[in-house]
Structure 1
């Protein structure tokens, strides 16, 4: 279960109920149409489970994912969060970047005879992904024809789809109307996470329940937050997610891509608009970025994320150390309490300094909570895109960079 509370330093210029209703209706119209497909994934992706259940997945002990951006970030986020609470979860190895040191290091971890390989690319021709895949084929002498340990996840009829068809490799398709950064609840995330041993059905249920609650008018805090962010977007144009759990680090990276690639655009009047996303981890970044938040430019809003119960009783030992006895007051208290009190103190200091903030609290780490968190941020992104008058779902700036790269590398 998620709970929400907020403290905005600036008063809203208006709390127009009609505007909030218009925002909700705008997303409802999108959900009912065929142009934007991520809204339907919490329900439609359940069909994938029927396709996956007959598969012999026990023969795999490693799940290798080759993909970048939206083809990996969401999967990594879920794997990082749920692995500590998922008994017998399989090892997941991610190939994302073109860094040769990381590629070589990851290759050394793979047991070819116990691994399955997922090649994930919506377009089917992502240069980082195809380059790494070729490297794996050569290194492991992978047999492509009728391979039962290689899977493709891509758009129907893409370049990768044609490759999979040619070699009779099992293929899972991404709905044509679902962009990469909104695709984690599609086959992109559901299939490899299922084979890795995660309860993906519960993830989808958590997303579906929150989404239904939102469209039934029970999550107005989301509309109010989007309204506030938009109304103050020129002054508070940086949004910081401050997550108080190491396991949420990859979630914050997923948020950064979702937010940055969706909201940094030219609006309908050709103005440059957007909100800069920053992902932090508490309590570590209290000792780095917090100083800038409190005494630097007042151009940020902060979203804290914390976990109420880590389900881990680890305590600070009752030991007194000579010269630093002043820290003995914390002895015999749990680290669970310590990190949450650090979150509360940081949030209080931020608010006292006049910085807008809100907090999302997970009662515990669970599949349903993670599903709800994913759809929460996707809905929030769509809401803000609507009021900014932009196309939330394209990425022309990224495509320009790809065109230049291809030309520089000799592609005519």
Structure 2
């Protein structure tokens, strides 16, 4: 169960709700964006997942790894899941250390939608050299890519198992495609429950049972000049990689040129209660240009109690003695929420009763729908990334 609470969020033009809703219906019906269908179609992938491995390695960057890593990070300490390694950045120090900790008989997933992502293929070449792979003999490599991409051709050449990403599903919207579903399933994640939660959320949205998403999207659009920074304040370390997924989804989708005008809403990722001791001061008393979304879990599933220990000179902290750490972090979340509300900062709360696969499926679709709705209202192409492509072209010219 997830509850959505909006505070200090009022809209002026109710007609924009219908405009946004009709916009995403058009995207869905005309297949402009294929992620709307993934909660239903991706269950077919489960029939083809019959691999076994002690550990899993994902070689990919951005949308090819962030969503998968986000789900893994949320559940790796909660359930019995096989260890996953993520090779993302061509940082030679970190990559050297990670390679030393990877077993050769791990199942490797090479993930690139285009099939020619320079960081991914470069890291893959290093993996091949490090482990001495012979593709005619070694079959512990699975490819996930676009149909007819160079990477698919590579996989066919060596008779390697491969999965395709639907052509109308961009990387940052692809976590519920083979990109996330296949490696996570092999790791032992109950992806069927994730898809079930995603289906429930998307069905509810199109049945107009989740209009809070529409209201929030319209508010963000109407107030885009005043509140152009959107903060996701998630309470729990296990949300850190999910926050990174949100930053890519929001920033790469909405930061665009519309003719000569530059539009977009800047995403900021915070983890509570850590960032209460840093960035919160800026939100409380700095420029009022931010909205804040709080994300919390009521039941952490771990009953770790603060000992009733009295220490000399530290009496001011004794008021929490005997209570649970989960209670402390959630009350800190509630207190920060109330403090910002008093300052008239637009805030909303996403509250999960507990961290479940189904709830995370709902959460993923929630943020994807919100992104698409704001994109419709901004009048941009939510699903391209021309700014990123410029840097790629410049990189080639430097070699």
TM-score, normalised to structure 1, is 0.95
Aligned to 1:12: 11
Give yes or no for contact 2:11–2:215 (8 Å, CA) kept in 1.
no
Alignment of 1:81-160 (within 5 A): 81-87=74-80, 89-113=81-105, 115-145=106-136, 147-160=138-151
CA distance in 1, matches of 2:323, 2:292: 28
Shift of 1:146: 5.5
* 2:157 aligned to which of 166, 177, 198: 166
* 2:172 aligned to which of 152, 171, 181: 181
Matched, 1:212 2:211: no
Matched, 1:44 2:34: no
SS at match of 1:85: coil
Aligned to 1:338: 328
Matched, 1:322 2:315: no
CA distance in 1, matches of 2:289, 2:137: 55
Matched, 1:304 2:301: no
CA distance in 2, matches of 1:148, 1:130: 18
Residue segments in structure 1 that go unaligned for 5+ positions in a row: none
Ranges of 4+ aligned residues in structure 1 off by more than 4 Å: none
How many residues align? The count is 399
Residue segments in structure 2 that go unaligned for 5+ positions in a row: none
Residue deviations 1:63-119 (CA, integer Å, cap 9, x gap): 0000000000000100000112222x1100000001001100110111112x01000
Give yes or no for contact 1:147–1:168 (8 Å, CA) kept in 2.
no
Aligned to 2:67: 74
Residue deviations 1:246-303 (CA, integer Å, cap 9, x gap): 0000000000000000000012x43100000000000000000000001110000000
SS at match of 1:4: strand
Matched, 1:26 2:18: no
Alignment of 1:240-279 (within 5 A): 240-267=231-258, 269-279=259-269
TM-score, normalised to structure 2, is 0.98
Give yes or no for contact 2:59–2:65 (8 Å, CA) kept in 1.
yes
CA distance in 2, matches of 1:39, 1:12: 26
Aligned to 2:58: 65
CA distance in 1, matches of 2:356, 2:173: 21
Aligned to 2:364: 374
Matched, 1:390 2:390: no
